[in-house]
Structure 1
Amino acid sequence: MARIAVIGAGLGAMAAAARLAVAGHRVTVYERTETYGGAVGRLERDGFAFDTGPGLLQLPAVYRDLFVKTGKEPLERCVQLTEVDPASRHVFADGTRVDLPNASRAGTVAALDAALGAGAGERWGDFLVRARDAWDRTRRPLLEEPQPADPSVFGREPYPALKAGFLRRPTTTLAQIGARELRDPRLVALLGSYALSHGFDPDTAPASAAVLPYMEQTFGSWYVAGGMRALATAVFERCRQRRVEFVFGAEVTEVRTRDGRAAGIGLADGTAVEADHVVAGAPVPALLRDGVLPEDVRPRHRTEGTGRVTVCLALRGAREADAVHRTVVHGVDDHPTVTVLRPDDPALRPDGHEAVTLTATQYVWPGTDWSEIAARMTAHAEAAVPGLRERLLWQEVRTPEDTLRETGAAEVPGPALAGGGGRFLPAANLSPLPGLYLAGGWAHPGGGLAHAGMSGALVAGLIVEGSDFRGSQ
């Protein structure tokens, strides 16, 4: 039985902790704040409740596997999962609207043809076929296996983009895919919205970001009753059932070494904790900035520098009968693309009222006027929420500065992507320092709830099986 110290109580860190505890190790999680969940936060006020991080779950199989492997009680006995259908309503700059069904290729093609004109659905369907090729080429090595010591293979672009023009130059960015293969500005905006929601700029994201709409439209989107915080609570409780110990209010200031390997951690109060393995589950940029991690674990990817702005709206009166769970209001002029979440969940609001969450990703620049951005988001969201201004009881704005204070990093970590010369790869799970492992959204395979859960599985496999571990099954 090994002693394992885990830094941070985010979803990826807790996923690793639960799996390691089941394997017979003694696991202690050290969290600098007073709660668990990391970026999966919650705001409560006057009977209203809001997710301040992710609001929907993709690839729930990741957490089903976690709960099966760590106990007899499956995920669905711990949380209630509901497919979101339609998956999303899109409101484009010209006023066109389209509802896309959940996990239905044929339904999506038909909906796009009906809303955007004959041929639009076929172009989108052909694009998804090429996106599937990129997914098939990268799914196993990029998501289910530890990042190799030489990740140069991921620098090559896996998306089989169409070539165009006299010189037959290849397509290298997501924006170029839209321009060359989709053509309709509304389809281009639809494609770009998937990149934006993950913190990527379509103009710089590699063509392989095509896997993002493919994943959602193939595997679907799911809502956790009570909000996504309920999932974090379920994972936390599973850890406690497996006898993982949590120490809150414990800031880690160093990874201690002995004989060239990680041998424990040091806390801000001077406490030294010995450990046979250390799992760093807190944001890698924060741990590097504070000198907790050595410089040679720095991620290879280029930080996009985008943070999440969240506006929590408490609205008077119930939502209208034809309201949908998620609406994407596409950007126009100086208004950003805004995702509007309107869960019909009585656990989140007083009877007869509505809790609405607006989110947008924005570049994090010094001196940014977040209140002005929030005002534009709210004005833009009126296209999705009739009578929003008249119904508003109060609002609270969450900015990247809040994310920085609570998690240690202001930016949104995107999922790992191939292509782009390897600039979109997070830090490897197996660090250059023996005995030190990295989990969570800033580690392989990157950000997002599903990817964070995968990182926990990979780290647990590396510790339990050692160098023989070749990936999750």
Structure 2
Amino acid sequence: MADIAVIGAGMGGMAAAARLSVAGHRVVVYERADTFGGGVRRYERAGFGFDTGPGLLVLPAVYRDLFVKTGRESLEDRLRLTRLEPVARHHFADGTIVTLPASHGGVRGALDAALGAGTGARWSELLDRARTTWEATRRPLLEEPLSSAPAATGGAGAGQEPRRDPYPAMRRRGLLRRRPPTLAEVAADELRDPRLVALLGSHALAHGLLPERTPASAAVLAYLEQTFGCWYVAGGMRALAQAVYERCTTRGVDFRFGTGVARVRDRDGRAAGLELTDGRTVPADLVVRAGGGPELGADQASGVDGPNRFGDALAEAHPAARAGRSASARFTVLLALRGARPYDTPHRTVVHDARHTVTVLRPDDPLLRPDDAHESVVLSVPVREPVVAPETLAEELLAVVDDAGLGLRERELWRVVRTPADNAAETGTPGGLVPAPALAGGDGAFLRPANRTPLDGLYLAGGWAHPGGGLAHAGMSGALVAGLIVAGDDWRGSS
């Protein structure tokens, strides 16, 4: 039995804590904020409720596995999950509208009907190649830990031969060429219809990735959604965070909220505990760092005394992460509307416009509205620059969606505008950045730092560690860290 300190009560930190406690360790989670969940928050006012972080879940199997491995009560015993049907409605700049059902065949038919014969086949052919990417990278990108921080241009994990890309693409046509194109290039080459190009690009944009700078392997994001679906948790994603937190406390995990961590203590080249921001020191046999930001500097990531031997290695290995290339921030507008949610309104609408690609979430959830004569709606766009005029941008987003015919402004009771600064204040992440999932290709620039660090006894979890951002990926990071600690550093993932 070990005393384990977890820094951060986000989804990755809690996923690791629950698994480690079940394995017989004493686990204490230190969280600078006054609550759990990291960026998975809820805003409530006058009977309205809004997700202020992620609003949908892909790959719910990650959390089903967490609940199976940590207790008798299943995830569905605790929550009501609903698969979106349809998965989304897309409004394109030329006025075309297509509603995509939650099946491969249905999507193909819907695209042919809305965009013209042959478009569905081109989309399906591209996603078939994305499936090959998924099958080739699923295990190393989700189910196996990285043994050390992978270099972007020349170095693999410990014990591996140096190579240019830790997860090189297979050498075939399309997505898997010898020199893989960007997502934007493969979309233009193979989809040809600008509406299909925008459809594929929207899956990258939803994760804060720019299609013209992102490896073509990002097409796997569209494949995952179409194959495994998008899922909604009744009460919003905050209910999922609540369920994971309660599973942790049921299993004996101790939480210390309002407790910041200044650094990880180092003794003889091994993590030995924490120094808190109030000056106190806490001993620990092992430390799991599950918060922070993309730079992962010495004071924030390792806290090792003396030269920044850990932080410098990560900066060299991940210049893209340091520059925010594979991360963006999120700008959201929370709308309280008068009037009932219109019949046949999809949960998610994506409006493609020359100005912005806006995601509109309109859950049919009585828990998020005062009564059936009102509706709660969330508009969101990724942003990569500081927002200097939030209200102006909010007006632009409303104009975009109303030009597409959604008619939200005329029903507005009030709005709350949330900028990246709000996310930064809640999570402590510099700039309010939100990490994207890890991707193959790009010479390793879209990978995240390894779960096991060069400092013995210090592990990384959460969206800024392998396998990257998103609810499912953060949960998987906790599983990987727990596997390394429980089964040993030679553990190579689930079988």
TM-score, scaled to structure 2: 0.91
Cα pair 1:134 1:160 within 8 Å, conserved: no
Match of 2:279 in 1: 270
What secondary structure does 1:6 align onto? strand
Match of 2:145 in 1: 146
- Partners of 2:379 and 2:172 lie apart in 1 by 34
Which of 366, 375, 381 is the matching residue for 1:360? 381
* Structure 1 stretches lacking a partner, 5+ long: none
- Partners of 2:455 and 2:179 lie apart in 1 by 39
Which of 313, 329, 342 is the matching residue for 2:362? 342
- Partners of 2:477 and 2:247 lie apart in 1 by 17
Deviation at 1:160, TM superposition (A): 4.1
- Partners of 2:272 and 2:298 lie apart in 1 by 21
What secondary structure does 1:467 align onto? coil
- Whether 1:437 and 2:437 are equivalent positions in the alignment is no
Match of 1:375 in 2: 395
Structure 1 residues 87, 162: CA separation in 2 closer, same or farther (over 3 Å shift)? same
Match of 1:393 in 2: 413
Cα pair 1:429 1:459 within 8 Å, conserved: yes
Residues 138-178 of structure 1: CA deviation (Å, up to 9, x unaligned): 00111100114315443533484439xxxx99542000011
Cα pair 1:157 1:420 within 8 Å, conserved: no
- Partners of 2:474 and 2:297 lie apart in 1 by 19
- Whether 1:129 and 2:101 are equivalent positions in the alignment is no
Match of 2:217 in 1: 208
Moved more, 286-295 or 69-78: 286-295
Taking the TM superposition and a 5 Å limit, the aligned residue runs for 1:25-424 are 25-102=25-102, 104-149=103-148, 150-151=156-157, 152=163, 153-154=165-166, 156-158=168-170, 160-162=172-174, 170-285=179-294, 288=297, 290-293=299-302, 294-295=310-311, 296-298=313-315, 300=318, 302=320, 303-304=324-325, 305-332=327-354, 335-351=355-371, 352-365=373-386, 368-383=388-403, 386-409=406-429, 410-424=432-446
Report how many residues are paired. 465
What secondary structure does 1:285 align onto? coil
Cα pair 2:289 2:301 within 8 Å, conserved: no
Match of 2:152 in 1: none
- Partners of 1:283 and 1:4 lie apart in 2 by 18
Cα pair 1:308 1:400 within 8 Å, conserved: yes
- Partners of 1:331 and 1:287 lie apart in 2 by 35
Residues 279-328 of structure 1: CA deviation (Å, up to 9, x unaligned): 00002437527545241344626122521111100000111112110000
What secondary structure does 1:468 align onto? coil
Cα pair 1:301 1:425 within 8 Å, conserved: no
Structure 1 residues 169, 17: CA separation in 2 closer, same or farther (over 3 Å shift)? closer
Structure 1 residues 289, 33: CA separation in 2 closer, same or farther (over 3 Å shift)? farther
- Partners of 1:185 and 1:137 lie apart in 2 by 29
Deviation at 1:381, TM superposition (A): 1.9
Which of 456, 468, 490 is the matching residue for 1:446? 468
Deviation at 1:467, TM superposition (A): 2.2
- Partners of 2:353 and 2:265 lie apart in 1 by 48
Cα pair 2:180 2:441 within 8 Å, conserved: no
Cα pair 1:145 1:471 within 8 Å, conserved: yes
Structure 1 residues 463, 97: CA separation in 2 closer, same or farther (over 3 Å shift)? same
Deviation at 1:259, TM superposition (A): 1.1
What secondary structure does 1:428 align onto? coil
Cα pair 1:329 1:383 within 8 Å, conserved: no
* Structure 2 stretches lacking a partner, 5+ long: 149-155, 158-162, 303-309
Letter in 2 for 1:456: G
Deviation at 1:79, TM superposition (A): 0.7
Cα pair 1:93 1:331 within 8 Å, conserved: yes
Cα pair 1:280 1:439 within 8 Å, conserved: yes
Cα pair 1:120 1:184 within 8 Å, conserved: yes
- Partners of 2:404 and 2:370 lie apart in 1 by 21
TM-score, scaled to structure 1: 0.95
Residues 356-394 of structure 1: CA deviation (Å, up to 9, x unaligned): 0011101124x6333322221121122566331111000
Deviation at 1:345, TM superposition (A): 0.3
Letter in 2 for 1:253: A
- Partners of 1:229 and 1:422 lie apart in 2 by 32
- Partners of 1:297 and 1:161 lie apart in 2 by 33
Cα pair 1:315 1:354 within 8 Å, conserved: yes
RMSD of aligned residue pairs (Cα, Å): 1.7
Structure 1 residues 349, 300: CA separation in 2 closer, same or farther (over 3 Å shift)? same
Structure 1 residues 472, 169: CA separation in 2 closer, same or farther (over 3 Å shift)? closer
What secondary structure does 1:35 align onto? coil
Moved more, 375-384 or 199-208: 375-384
What secondary structure does 2:208 align onto? coil
Of all paired residues, the percent bearing the same amino acid is 61
What secondary structure does 1:269 align onto? coil
